[in-house]
Amino acid sequence: MKHCLPEGPAFFPEETLTDLPERFIAAEIIREKVFRLTGQEVPYATAVTIDSFFEEKNGLVKISAVIHIERDSQKGIIIGKKGSKLKEIGEQSRKDIETMMGAKVFLKLFVRVQKNWSRDTKAIRKFGY
């Protein structure tokens, strides 16, 4: 079927992979790690926001992010025993973000319970959905 479609003009330069900002992609990488590392224990009503994202003069990128969940019981699952799950989420996220950015990354993660945020239109807009 591909042969039936006419080729149109390019909307972006060939070397451009996406029109989304690095902040958004970093948040989605963290969110993906939450889902992959917690399995079905944490529902998909999880959002990640980036509180700060800046590059220092030495090239180090510092990112502070918040993982938003809906229930107190989910907080323990994401943090894990003695913080082990959150540490694993952070380490795997940092590696992928470093690959994307081509720079060293310092990633600081927080977990915040925001009850029923997925049913709140203001919260949904705030999280970019």
Confidence of residue 25 (pLDDT cuts 50, 70, 90): very high
Q: Rg of the Cα trace of the chain?
A: 17
Is residue 81's pLDDT more than 80? yes
Once rounded to an integer, what is the mean pLDDT over residues 47-73?
94
User: Please, which pLDDT band fits residue 55 given cuts at 50, 70 and 90?
Assistant: very high
Residue 1 above 70 pLDDT?
Answer: no
The CATH homologous superfamily to which domain 20-126 belongs is K homology (KH) domain (3.30.300.20)
Q: Is the pLDDT of residue 67 over 80?
A: yes
How far is Cα 25 from Cα 85, in angstroms, rounded to an integer? 21
Residues 92/33, Cβ–Cβ less than 8 Å:
yes
User: Average pLDDT, whole number, for the chain?
Assistant: 89
pLDDT tens sequence across 33-46:
999 999 877 777 89
Q: Which residue has the higher pLDDT, 17 or 86?
A: 86
DSSP string for residues in 45-73: --EEEEEEEEE-TTS-EEEEEEEEES-HH
Mean pLDDT to the nearest integer, 16-41: 87
Q: Assign residue 8 a region (left: φ > 0; alpha: ψ between -120 and 50; beta: otherwise).
A: beta
Collect contacts of 117-123 with beta carbons under 8 A, ≥24 apart.
117/45, 117/47, 117/68, 117/70, 118/45, 118/70
Q: Is 40 exposed, middle or buried (0-12, 13-18, 19+ CB in 10 A)?
A: exposed
Helix/strand/coil percentages in the chain, nearest 5: 45, 20, 35
The DSSP symbol for 43 reads -
pLDDT in the model for residue 20: 75
pTM (two decimals): 0.84
pLDDT at 48 over 80: yes
Residue 9: Cβ within 10 Å count = 4
- pLDDT tens digit sequence for 92-112: 999 999 999 999 999 999 999
